Structure 1
Amino acid sequence: MTVPTPGPRPGDPRPPDERPVAALRADVEEAVAGLDGLDARPVAEHPAAFERVHSALGRALSAGSERG
């Protein structure tokens, strides 16, 4: 007799992200590290740095929310 492999439960909107929390935390830390040394850079470079960090944090947040 074959035992079926469990799949997503009915109603699950998307498959779970298998990345461990430590990997997601590392993504956040890497994103925030993009602000390191910002005070030594010209103010004209600040908006682009904030945009990069904002995008990276958004991706990390999305990946974390997919974990369910």
Structure 2
Amino acid sequence: MTVPVPGDPRPMSARPLEAVRADVEAALGALDALAEQPAEEHVAVFERVHAALGAALAAGSPERA
């Protein structure tokens, strides 16, 4: 585990913005196929996308004390 240095804008554990952006794009890509899926499957897709977005954004966020 890395310990952030005070004043460091991004701790070592944060991922580069480009990597986070790629994860967000991939998560949102799952929404493209919704039109072809039955409505009863939409909630599960939304839940997976929500979880993936949360994980991607958390991975890219600097830890704040």
**Interval containing the TM-score (normalised by the shorter chain):** 0.7 to 0.9
User: What secondary structure does 1:9 align onto?
Assistant: coil
Q: Distance in 1 between matches of 2:28 and 2:55?
A: 13
TM-score (norm: length of structure 2)? 0.74
Alpha-carbon RMSD across the aligned residues, in angstroms, is 2.5
Runs of 4+ deviating beyond 4 Å: none
Partner of residue 52, structure 2: 56
Name which one, 1 or 2, has greater alpha-carbon Rg: 1
TM-score (norm: length of structure 1)? 0.71
Q: CA deviation at 1:20?
A: 1.7
Q: CA deviation at 1:61?
A: 1.2
